[in-house]
Amino acid sequence: MSDLDIPAARASVFAGLRLTKTAIVAGSILLLWVFLAFFGPTLAPHGEAEIISTKTFAPIGEGGLLGTDKLGRDVFSRLLYGVRTTLVLALITTIIAFAAGVTLGFAAAILRGWFDIVVSRIVEAFMAFPSTLLALVVIGALGTSIPVLVCTVGLVLSTGVFRVSRALGMDIGVMDFVDAARARGEGAWWILSREVLPNAMAPLIAEFGLRFTFSILFLSGLSFLGLGVQEPAADWGLMVQENIGGLFLGSSAALIPAGCIASLTICMNLLVDWFQQRQQGETVLEKIDQ
Amino acid sequence: MTDTILSITDLDVRGRPPGGTYVPIVTGVSLSVKKGEVLALIGESGSGKSTISLAAMGFARPGCRIFGGQVVLNGRDIMTLAPPERHSLRGREVAYVAQSAAASFNPAIRIGKQVTEAPLWHGTADAATAANTAFELYQKLDLPDPEHIGSRFPHQVSGGQLQRLMAAMAMSCGPDLLILDEPTTALDVTTQIEVLKAFKSIIREQGTAAIYVTHDLSVVAQMADRILVLKDGAVVEAGETDQIIHAPQHAYTKTLMDAVTPKVRPVQAEPKKPEIVLSARNITAGYGATTILRNVSVDVPKGTVVGVIGESGCGKSTLARVIAGLTPTREGETQIEGKTVAPSVGARDKATLRDCQIVFQMADTALNPRMRIRDLLGRPLRFYHSLKGRAQVDRVAELLTLVDLPPEFASRYPGELSGGQKQRVNLARALAADPKVILCDEVTSALDTVVAAGVIALLNDLKDRLGVSFMFISHDLSTVSSFADDVVVLYAGRVMEKGPAAAVFQPPFHPYTKLLLASVPEMRQGWLEGVAQTDEARAASASGVELTAKGCPFANRCIHAMRDLCETTTPPDLVFPDGLTIACHLAPDALPT
């Protein structure tokens, strides 16, 4: 037995993750994007706003590697610059959404009473507005700047996170171990951070992945409407918006960033699916087999 | 051997924890059941008895797989069938009754529709025939109002009735084999009798073969023709019921039998008058619009065990929660060592909180699964005694030794422990506070007989060594009678009888106490038939527990009930010289003996 154990131990780092094929593919694509977020600008052949050709909407291979956009800028270079903006903004907004949503959601579930009623009703009022419209109003009133954009999108997304974490908190809050902590005399902060949060981690991580993709789509949507990242900075959503006119001229300058957004969100979703499967211990296919 | 319904040979089932590799659950088990025969599978939890019973349907729970062996049902090896063919067998040739009927019924669909679902799905009967069969089954199962019970929703019938309806659902296609997986474990003793009786008569009448899975030996004695004793997924002993009960061969079977046989307890010589540690006075409490406890008073003297017994829903747990400050009181107060304490946990100071600790029923849910044992035990040490670092580590090791666990367990997570070990950690956490009194809420009811006996022995030992007092809440009379010094009998949130254990378990009884004692299954065949015939049992099964403010709550199930008087006037407390108090309208010499 002992000589069999050694390779098993060596392989355990990867075996412990229990990667599936889809998870490997999705993970590698995501890693590539993260790598480019760090090193994209140094790898880019041209500047972010540099006009390299007099020909606008040049096809792939002509002018730049992936053609040029409506001003004759290199699509490939802008794409590499855009990764950073798209990923970092999405990450910050998701973190804001989670910090606000999870804290308030758990607090509402644990404290109940007036706190729960007041917070829940406010959140419901916010949820009643179409999220894009709400963001439009806020950004319209406060002007377009990155901090305003990030905070607004974060808060809009936090309403969903609030509902999920309140429901999770309600479920976990009635468990005996939480009652045991209450009987011991623990305060709300201990119960929230030590008793409830660790037990809600798995669904919250899955939720994080989903909200992250929502926030990429939402930010891209706002950029597309002209309310997000402003030119000449590169952002994938903005690139779609800038170059949408080129579609009628047969240019792929709008389709390429759209495809990148799709790859990012789909891969993130696949990874979240894999994570959820891993938590349940058995894949969907194995269940059907029964 | 044409009448053999099911035969299993060399069954091999393996299970896989999330992310782990397959480990054997059941190995090399063979059994066979003949027509009209009841085979009991007994063993502790984790012995593979449920897994075997599921395998009889060709089914393995998620994460488990049947790796080998033959399962021959009515002459066909069902392991070789394709999944759709297996589906068509289930319900028609083999049916399953699960432990919790409440969890198996869809709360949003009427009962009748769910009972007739299987014959309609299999196409063995049209709606009218199926409804007719269901009606006959309701009658046979002794269900009240058989014409209309099918049009009710699951929450509108009692737990015992729901369990019998579950049997009706299983019998609706007239299966050849019925699998009963711990069908009465979650029920109270008084309800258990009617359910067992109904199961037994329907099995006899239909000539169905049955597999009865349970850990309760005295129930097995009533139901089974043959017994298979399982341990760690293998058969340790098989034989006729009579032989297993009276002349067990294997050492493990003997251990099981010993744990069931009640130990005779020496009666305390003279009643001491020690100081009262905990005293709940005239407590009235409830949730929302329902009042559960009415005017309940319990005293716990220093260094003793006070047992609180009663059926589910009678307010035992609510009492513990009220004393711990988790549920608000409407009236009354709690005193610890003579001092009145704040009613809510938030308003109590640390010293008060420390003095009174509560241990919850389910060790599985009472321990945070994401904390190591050292943190679970370390927190109260730090919280109440400000112990840190080395001192805390040492004390955790001490506590683990105190509850007979190795100190190395400190680095484990609760999930890596067995049920009994978890319950010990649960106790150790309460002990970490150095409390004066511990409220134990059904701490042994989720445990196997052998393990529960170990926990009781530990509690007894702790009482003697540390001088801790216990309020021991249980629905299991034999446990309480072997362990408690004083006993309080609760029914529908009111105290029916209380006094020294010796006096409570000896005549005269309150009619309810008498019913409870008579309902505890005895380890002899034929007991069920005898007890079900008594007038007490008939009267008790007529209706359910009702929380009333008026009169005596037990009046609707009591054969001694006097019309008008019992239903309208709160019964007086009859006090006996040996410290026994009985709340009843009957004259002291007319009480049941």
Element holding A288 (H helix, E strand): helix A284-289
Distance from CA of A193 to the nearest CA of B (A): 12
Q: How confident is the model at residue A161 (pLDDT cuts 50, 70, 90)?
A: very high
A280 touches chain B (CB under 8 A): yes
> How far, in Å, CA of B497 to CA of B298, rounded?
11
> How far, in Å, CA of B476 to CA of B520, rounded?
8
Mean per-residue pLDDT of chain B: 85
Buried b (16+ CB within 10 A) or exposed e, B357-394: bbbbbbbbbbbbebbbbbbbbbbbbbbbbebeeeebbe
Contacts of A278 in chain B (CB under 8 A): 18-19
Q: Which two tokens stand for residue B130?
A: 């199926």
List the single residue in A179, A185, A186 with the smallest CB-CB distance to B360. A179
By three-state DSSP, how is residue B98 classified?
Answer: coil
> How far, in Å, CA of A251 to CA of A71, rounded?
13
- Burial classification of residue B568, based on how many CB atoms lie within 10 Å of its CB (0-12 exposed, 13-18 middle, 19 or more buried): exposed
List the single residue in A176, A185, A278 with the smallest CB-CB distance to B365. A176
Phi/psi at B8 (nearest 5 deg)? -115, 130
A2 touches chain B (CB under 8 A): no
Does the beta-carbon distance from B365 to A198 stay under 8 Å? no
List the single residue in B60, B326, B370 with the smallest CB-CB distance to A199. B370
Which residue type, as a one-letter code, is found at position B475? H
A18 touches chain B (CB under 8 A): yes
- By DSSP bridging, strand B356-359 and strand B581-583 are unpaired
Q: B380: nearest CA in chain A?
A: A184
- Report whether B90 contacts B81 (CB < 8 A): no
Contacts of A186 in chain B (CB under 8 A): 383
Contacts of B353 in chain A (CB under 8 A): 183-185
Does the beta-carbon distance from B361 to A176 stay under 8 Å? yes
Contacts of B346 in chain A (CB under 8 A): 185
pLDDT of residue B1: 45
R_g over Cα of chain A: 23
Mean pLDDT of A60-72: 75
Q: Which two tokens stand for residue B232?
A: 């760690």
Across A48-62, A163-177, B277-291, B299-313, least confident range: A48-62
- Dihedral-angle region of residue A107 (phi above 0 means left; psi in -120 to 50 means alpha; beta otherwise): alpha
Does the beta-carbon distance from A278 to B353 stay under 8 Å? no
Mean pLDDT of A138-160: 87
pLDDT of residue A281: 52
Per-residue pLDDT in tens (0 to 9) along chain B, 593 residues: 458 889 999 998 888 776 667 888 888 889 999 888 999 998 887 788 888 988 888 888 877 888 888 889 888 888 888 888 888 888 888 998 887 777 888 889 999 899 898 888 888 888 889 999 899 888 888 788 888 888 888 888 877 788 888 888 888 888 889 999 888 877 788 888 888 888 888 888 888 899 999 888 888 888 889 999 998 888 999 989 888 888 888 888 888 887 766 555 555 545 556 788 899 989 998 887 788 888 899 999 988 899 999 887 788 888 999 999 888 888 888 998 888 888 888 888 888 899 999 998 888 888 988 889 999 999 999 999 888 888 999 999 999 998 888 998 898 888 888 888 888 899 999 999 889 999 998 888 777 777 888 888 888 888 888 889 999 998 888 888 888 889 999 988 899 999 888 888 888 888 888 888 888 888 777 788 888 777 777 777 766 777 777 888 888 888 888 878 888 888 888 888 888 889 988 888 888 87
> How far, in Å, CA of A282 to CA of A243, rounded?
45
Contacts of A194 in chain B (CB under 8 A): 368, 371
List the single residue in A186, A279, A290 with the smallest CB-CB distance to B60. A290
Does the beta-carbon distance from B366 to A177 stay under 8 Å? yes
Contacts of A199 in chain B (CB under 8 A): 368-370
Distance from CA of B371 to the nearest CA of A (A): 9
Q: E strands along B514-563, which residues?
A: none
Mutation target among A14, A17, A177, A278 for the B interface, most CBs of B within 10 A:
A177
R_g over Cα of chain B: 25
List the single residue in A179, A184, A278 with the smallest CB-CB distance to B383. A184
Distance from CA of B495 to the nearest CA of A (A): 25
List the single residue in A177, A185, A279 with the smallest CB-CB distance to B345. A185
A186 touches chain B (CB under 8 A): yes
By three-state DSSP, how is residue A10 classified?
Answer: helix
List the single residue in B326, B346, B370 with the smallest CB-CB distance to A198. B370
Does the beta-carbon distance from B62 to A176 stay under 8 Å? no
Contacts of A184 in chain B (CB under 8 A): 353, 379-380, 383, 433
Cβ–Cβ contacts within 10 Å for residue B83, how many? Answer: 10
Residue ranges of chain B whose CB lies within 8 Å of a chain A CB = 16-19, 59-60, 62-63, 83, 324-326, 345-346, 348, 350, 353, 357-358, 360-362, 365-371, 379-380, 383, 429, 433
List the single residue in A180, A185, A195 with the smallest CB-CB distance to B350. A185
> How far, in Å, CA of B295 to CA of B286, rounded?
12
Q: How far apart are the first and last CA of chain B?
A: 51
Distance from CA of B17 to the nearest CA of A (A): 7
pLDDT, one tens digit per residue, over A14-41 is: 556 677 788 889 899 989 988 888 888 8
List the single residue in A179, A279, A280 with the smallest CB-CB distance to B326. A179
Residue A165 has pLDDT above 90, yes or no: yes
pLDDT of residue A49: 78
Buried b (16+ CB within 10 A) or exposed e, A82-93: bbbbbbebbebb
Does the beta-carbon distance from B360 to A176 stay under 8 Å? yes
In chain A, what percentage of residues exceed pLDDT 70? 89
Does the beta-carbon distance from A282 to B18 stay under 8 Å? yes
- Report whether B443 contacts B453 (CB < 8 A): no
Contacts of B361 in chain A (CB under 8 A): 176
Contacts of A182 in chain B (CB under 8 A): 326, 345
Does the beta-carbon distance from B63 to A281 stay under 8 Å? yes
A287 touches chain B (CB under 8 A): yes
pLDDT of residue A116: 92
Contacts of B16 in chain A (CB under 8 A): 281-282
Residue A62 has pLDDT above 80, yes or no: no
Across A55-69, A276-290, B11-25, B400-414, least confident range: A276-290
Does the beta-carbon distance from B348 to A179 stay under 8 Å? no
Q: B87: nearest CA in chain A?
A: A290
DSSP A194-240: IIIHHHHHHHHHHHHHHHHHHHHHHHHHHHHTTSSSPTTS--HHHHH
Residue A256 has pLDDT above 80, yes or no: yes
Element holding B583 (H helix, E strand): strand B581-583
pLDDT of residue A9: 43
DSSP B307-326: EEE--TTSSHHHHHHHHHTS
> How far, in Å, CA of B364 to CA of B179, rounded?
27
pLDDT, one tens digit per residue, over B505-543 is: 888 888 888 888 888 888 777 788 888 777 777 777 766
pLDDT of residue B140: 81
> How far, in Å, CA of B402 to CA of B424, rounded?
9
- The ipTM, to two decimals, is 0.77
Closest CA to B129 of B137, B161, B108: B137
> How far, in Å, CA of B508 to CA of B488, rounded?
15
- Percent helix / strand / coil, chain A, rounded to 5: 75, 0, 20
Residue A96 has pLDDT above 90, yes or no: yes
Does the beta-carbon distance from A199 to B365 stay under 8 Å? no
- Dihedral-angle region of residue B74 (phi above 0 means left; psi in -120 to 50 means alpha; beta otherwise): left
Distance from CA of B22 to the nearest CA of A (A): 12
Size of interface A-B (CB pairs under 8 A): 70
